[in-house]
Structure 1
Amino acid sequence: MDIDTILLDTEERMDKAMSALDREFAKLRTGRASTALVDGIKADYYGTPTPISQMASVAVPDSRTITIQPWDKGGIAVVEKAILKSDLGLTPVNDGKVIRISIPPLTEERRKELVKVSRKYGEEAKVAVRNVRRDANDSLKKLEKDKAITEDEQKKAEADVQKLTDKYVGEVDKRCAAKEKEIMDI
């Protein structure tokens, strides 16, 4: 292990924390329809919990509707049941071929709850970024202790790690602010 490897690994792991944050944000209901809302829902398909996206085509024809068209007509009932059981609080409408989900506008109270949830996700992402920083600094200290690098090189590398941390924490703040704005938009 050398300094460049540690820095590259650090940046890669911080990128993964940002990707995880984006996935969490995609699942948050904002009053706009998104296929990501049904991504986490699994339907009991022939005894196997199967993600809806693997057994049906999911589309967003307009900003307030999600359509789900199972490839197997027998799957309509199980998909509908899975959506009703999910914690989304949405009611699917089944016409025999396609399941339609209308996304109602959010109440002010629900918007504020969602903002709190988005802040929690943001805080978790920051903690993940800081944990990566701690791991990188520990690796650098170990290199210096093993006399693989000088103390000056360690201090410079730690400063580089801190710059990366600041960059990613700033990015988390920016994404959180954008998500809050999206949630609060009526």
Structure 2
Amino acid sequence: MFDEKSYGVKMVKTIDVFTKELSSLRTGRANASMLDLVKVDVYGQLMPVNQIGSITTPEPRMINIQVWDQNNVSLVDAAIKKSDLGLNPQIDGQLIRLPIPELNEERRNEMKKMIKSMGEKCKVSVRNIRREANEDLKKLLKNKELSEDEEKSHEKNIQNITDKHILIIDDKVALKEKEIMTI
């Protein structure tokens, strides 16, 4: 029995990951999710910043990180500087302030390219799921568990599901680009 839905669910999960990556991109406004991809090497393992301190956005262009353990302040500072966010942390005891600078034209264009390439990677993942589905269909046909008509019908449905998900990715890319260019 062939289950088209399971491949659709995989595609949705792929887009969820892509959406999370997009939300971590800097747009000129302070957003705690910008730090989601920053991992800090503490206690012998890589941990997200939000597990080492509390993150707040007291104003539109500022993120504050109240680090719980004084020993981790320099580690969080180093991880943020190493990330490609382009932020310059200011340390005040156990509080790290992250002023969010205005995006200049050059940085906006770099980010547009980054968003496009992230979108392309996501599309490739969705297409790989389609290919996996089609390979499974061929196996079922070969083992005579499906008729050729059923195989063609499933293949067409998988293609429709793929097309829908590719459109969703394109929309997300366009929306994020617009957001970056208007701020």
Shift of 1:30: 1.2
2:67 maps to which of 43, 54, 70: 70
Distance 1:32 1:168, change over 3 A: same
1:85 maps to which of 82, 103, 126: 82
Which of 141-150 and 40-49 deviates more? 40-49
Render the CA deviation track for 1:123-163: whole Å, top value 9, x for unaligned. 11111111111111111111111111111111111111011
Which of 28-37 and 80-89 deviates more? 80-89
**Matched residue, 2:25:** 28
Render the CA deviation track for 1:96-148: whole Å, top value 9, x for unaligned. 13111010010011101100110001111111111111111111111111111
- Opposite residue 47 of structure 2, the aligned amino acid is T
Contiguous gaps of at least 5 residues in structure 2 = none
Matches within 5 A, 1:36-185: 36-185=33-182
In structure 2, what is the Cα distance between the partners aligned to 1:46 and 1:163? Answer: 47
Shift of 1:47: 4.9
Distance 1:154 1:49, change over 3 A: closer
Which of 145-154 and 39-48 deviates more? 39-48
Shift of 1:77: 2.7
In structure 2, what is the Cα distance between the partners aligned to 1:141 and 1:46? Answer: 49
- Opposite residue 166 of structure 2, the aligned amino acid is V
Which of 78-87 and 50-59 deviates more? 78-87
Render the CA deviation track for 1:62-93: whole Å, top value 9, x for unaligned. 22111100112332233223322333221111
- Report if the CA contact (8 A) 2:68-2:94 is conserved: no
**In percent, how many aligned pairs have the same letter?**
45
- Opposite residue 180 of structure 2, the aligned amino acid is I
- Report if the CA contact (8 A) 2:91-2:97 is conserved: yes
In structure 2, what is the Cα distance between the partners aligned to 1:91 and 1:154? Answer: 56
Structure-1-length-normalised TM-score: 0.91
Shift of 1:24: 1.9
Which of 99-108 and 33-42 deviates more? 33-42
1:40 alignment partner, SS class: coil
Alpha-carbon RMSD across the aligned residues, in angstroms, is: 1.6
For these two proteins, the number of residue pairs brought into alignment is: 183
In structure 1, what is the Cα distance between the partners aligned to 2:121 and 2:46? Answer: 28
Distance 1:162 1:48, change over 3 A: closer
Shift of 1:48: 4.2
Which of 91-100 and 43-52 deviates more? 43-52
- Opposite residue 125 of structure 2, the aligned amino acid is A
